[in-house]
Amino acid sequence: MVLIPNGPKSGSESIMKQKIINMLELQDLMNTKVNAEWRSAGNEWYRAIWMEASEMLEHYGWKWWKHQEPEIMQVKLEVVDIVHFALSIRLEKDLSLDDTAEQIASDFKNSMQAEDIRKSIECLALLTLTDQGAHFTFIAGIMKHLDMPFDELYEIYIGKNVLNMFRQDNGYKEGTYNKIWNGREDNEYLADIMKQLNADSQTFQNDVYAALSQNYAA
């Protein structure tokens, strides 16, 4: 297996760092909503990461004995799910948000990948199982395979974070939340909603939440 180092791809470093800080703050809020003492709860974030990596590989396709078309949007959603757990690992280190964001931004700029996406996904899973850490370098490498810029990751992360908040507000932890709305999964509704809204709007998060509420009640 050949590992290919990559340099930075696009965007201002300061803007990327600020967006990472926003993501860290939102992740802290989400985790706190689930459990106010989440930092000391001993959550096994690494297990969630390698399980999501397995789902990502399934969505991309790996079976040589049957025809499979990569479900790229679903793969990207799995990347975003992994980022949620990877951010949580970094937050548990109790560094300042500024220092944590600096480290993550550096990882994104020094991404690593194998010669194909399947092996890059396996590298991420292997490294995660080995040290139970957050490997943003390989997350960024997988994004390069997908031609997924950081700004797209950020936009989807914000949307998925709002959906996670919405789920919690509507009984997800208690087991009363319904993920299937009129025959479609809530993730599908989220994807449609995000296509219709302006991610650069200052009210983007509130707009996503409002649209989810409208569709859930329908």
| Per-residue pLDDT at 5 | 47
Q: Give the C-alpha separation, 128 to 45, whole Å.
A: 10
191 Cβ contact list (under 8 Å, min separation 6): 73
Summarize the confidence of residues 203-215 as an average pLDDT.
Answer: 91
Q: What is the pLDDT of residues 178-193, one digit of tens each?
A: 999 989 889 889 988 9
Q: What is the pLDDT of residues 52-93, one digit of tens each?
A: 999 999 999 999 999 999 999 889 999 999 999 999 999 999
What is the average pLDDT value for the chain, to the nearest integer?
A: 91
Q: What is the pLDDT of residues 91-101, one digit of tens each?
A: 999 899 999 99
Summarize the confidence of residues 158-164 as an average pLDDT.
Answer: 92
| Per-residue pLDDT at 8 | 43
| Per-residue pLDDT at 10 | 45
Question: Which domain covers residue 158, as residue numbers?
Answer: 4-217
- Is residue 105 within 8 Å of 97, Cβ to Cβ? no
Taken in order 54, 169, 211, 88, is the CA torsion positive or negative? negative
**DSSP-assigned beta bridge partners for residue 4:** 113
Q: Give the C-alpha separation, 26 to 165, whole Å.
A: 10
**Cα 116 to chain centroid, rounded:** 20
For residue 103, the domain's CATH number is: 1.10.4010.10
**Which two three-digit tokens encode residue 139?**
């997350």
Q: Tell me the whole-structure pTM to 2 decimals.
A: 0.86
| Total of domains in the chain | 1
Q: Give the C-alpha separation, 55 to 66, whole Å.
A: 18
